[in-house]
Amino acid sequence: MAVLAGCKAGEDKAASAVPQTYKAPDIRERLAKFAPTEIAADEALLAPEDRPVLNAFIEAARLIDTIFWKQAYPPGLAMKKELELSPLPADKDYLRFLEINFGPFDRQDGNMPFIGTARKPAGAGFYPADLTKVEFEDYVAAHPDEREALENPFTMVKREGGRLVAIPYSEAYKDELLPIAERLRAAAALTANPSLKKYLERRASDLLTNDYYESDCLWIDLKDNRPEIIIGPYEVYEDSLFGIKASFESFVYVNDFEAMAKLRGYLDRLEAMQRNLPVEPKYKTAQVKGLDSPLNVVHEVFTAGDTKAGVQTSAFVLPNDEKVREKKGTKKVFLKNMMEAKFGKSLIPISQRVLVPADAAKVTFDAYFTEVLLHEISHVLGVNYVVLPDGTKTTVNKALKDLNAAIEEGKADIVGMANVPLLIESGLIPQASEENLYASYLAGMFRSMRFGATEAHGLGVLIQFNYMREKGAFVLDAGSGRFKVDYGKIRGAVRDLAAEFLIVEGDGDYAKAQGFVDKYRTMDAGTKAMIETLKDIPVDIYPVYRMKY
Ligand code: ZN
């Protein structure tokens, strides 16, 4: 498909500068949402023997991009090539944005086209572009013996005459998968770590046999490596037709054992954190269940494919295969340097605009990262189940229904904050950083509210923000028009609000929960206006990776 005018020799210059296709005129504003940022491994985490392994990982992972271009929108690759060859300076911007989105559709704008007028097929590149839901469903109903192959997450669907046929990924993307497998084997030969060697060899063969089960299990078992890689088809979001086809992606990362040791310090105190909660025993079950997935802290070195499209991932939980989850569980992985990059490019500028200078100066990445970890582990605190007035047991989720997500997210935030004084006493958090935690807590709220106060996280945050203002812990400074923390009041307000959330969950009384949410869910006009002024601050980063170590 010819999308963009090339510039042939001898052609009339004015004519060639006229775009042949619609191109969104506001491309610079769209690009400005993504601040290009260098992402690299922390040299201090690397031993000399890790470097060749990392380089082999990067070489394998970068080939994943080509597969994902094909999966997202097959004509995208040709458009990319044309833009690369275009002499028009503005086309550099279109090229960059095409690369961010893996195609001509703006992922931040409901996949509306920013080049051309064609709409993205709901089934992306996984199915024939003209295939409808009804046609597919009728076809598999009429051909029950073909259903399994056609609905397999690791096949793409093609038309062949009047038939629909399933092509295994291992065949459809053979040209890319063969060299990827080769590079994974090369990496296996380079590493001295037995668990990594085993995983890499198995993954290399699984990519070619289209069965990922064994190597997914081996990824969970990886032990004592610094550099690691996850590579293959995982998330199914790109398939908006049925949500069953998996997209290829890869994360190359280095384990941060020091950060994980610190985290273990928090986890060792889970029981103490539970006891410390400011509520009666019935609102905190005696036995703290463990976390659903072990937490890992890593530095991102390189990503490719699905995860690199649009907004960057701060953390992931993999694998997705239910069979693997049942047998081995999952791992949750925090990409610490990616979080730090986002923090620097968006949370710092936000805090400089919404906080008084003295508090803006207290917003630190360390404090922000501590809060993210405390949020994550605080999900398991409080009650495990609810006893209804008639004596029956149920889960908080079932009792609070549509309100559960916002309340549970808010609870995780505030319960994490309520345990800060305990962790200071235990020596895990330095006393000197207590104010940083409160200032970062306030600044982080503006980041969440900016993304919208209707979805669970945003609403959970808005409730906390309004409560803290009501109690005078957050104050709008009349002179500067900016917010500040009242450090004399915040500790008490945090404990009180933690109790409110824990009691709402523990009682499991929907009407009471509704009353609590309704009381604090309205954003005042001043805050709305303040959030409006943040529009020009990037919402995310665009990662620029180092290709060699
Ligand atoms: Zn959460």
Residue 441, burial from CB neighbour count under 10 angstroms (0-12, 13-18, 19+): buried
The Cα–Cα gap between 78 and 86 comes to 12
Task: Tell me which residue of 436, 468, 443 sits closest to 355, measured CA to CA.
Answer: 443
* Selection from 303, 272, 464 nearest residue 377 by Cα: 272
- pLDDT value for 286: 57
Span 227-283, pLDDT tens digits:
999 999 999 999 999 999 999 999 999 999 999 998 999 999 999 999 999 999 999
Per-residue pLDDT tens over the stretch 363-403: 999 999 999 999 999 988 999 889 888 889 999 999 999 99
pLDDT score for 13: 41
Q: How far does residue 341's CA lie from ligand 1's centre (Å)?
A: 21
Q: Which residues pair with 23 in a beta bridge?
A: 115
Instruction: Tell me if 103 sits within 8 A of 119, measured CB to CB.
Output: no
Q: What is the pLDDT of residue 269?
A: 92
At residue 292, the pLDDT reads 72
pLDDT digits 0-9 by tens, 272-313: 999 999 999 999 975 776 677 788 999 999 999 999 999 999
pLDDT for 146 beyond 70: yes
Q: Do 540 and 342 touch, CB atoms closer than 8 A?
A: yes
Mean pLDDT of 204-216: 98
Residue 330 confidence (pLDDT) above 50: yes
pLDDT band at 15 (very low <50, low <70, confident <90, very high): very low
Q: How far is the CA of 379 from the centre of ligand 1 (A)?
A: 7
In the reported structure, the alpha carbon of residue 436 is separated from the centroid of ligand 1 by a whole-number distance in angstroms of 21
Cα dist from 211 to 66, 188, 205, 251, 278, whole Å: 21, 19, 9, 19, 49
pLDDT digits (tens, 9 = 90+) for 84-123: 999 999 999 999 999 999 999 999 889 999 999 999 999 9
pLDDT of residue 499: 98
pLDDT, tens digit, 9 for 90 and up, residues 59-70? 999 999 999 999
Ligand 1 midpoint to CA 227 (Å): 27
Expressed in angstroms and rounded, the spacing between residue 313 Cα and the centre of ligand 1 is: 15
**What global pTM score does this model have?**
0.89
Whole-number pLDDT of residue 476: 97
Give CA–CA dist 64/59, Å, rounded: 9
| CA 322 from centroid of its chain's CA atoms | 20
SS3 state at 467: helix
6 pLDDT exceeds 50?
no
Domains and CATH numbers, the chain: 1-31+74-120 (no CATH), 124-255+289-329 (3.30.540.30), 338-549 (no CATH)
Distance 217 CA to ligand 1 centre (A): 25
Rg, Å, the chain Cα set:
25
Quick one: pLDDT band at residue 147, thresholds 50, 70, 90?
very high
CB 413 within 8 A of CB 368: no
* Residue-wise pLDDT tens digits, 397-412: 999 999 999 999 999 9
CA of 375 to the centre of ligand 1 (A): 6
Q: Taking residues 2-20, report their average pLDDT.
A: 42
Q: Mean pLDDT score of the chain, rounded to an integer?
A: 93
CB contact set of 364 (below 8 Å; sequence gap of 6+): 433, 436, 440
Over range 407-436, report the average pLDDT.
97
- Give the model's confidence band at 12: pLDDT under 50 very low, under 70 low, under 90 confident, else very high: very low
CA of 109 to the centre of ligand 1 (A): 25
Burial of 397 (0-12, 13-18, 19+ CB in 10 A): middle
- The rounded Å distance from CA 12 to ligand 1 centre is 58
> What separation in Å is there between the alpha carbon of 409 and the centre of ligand 1?
5
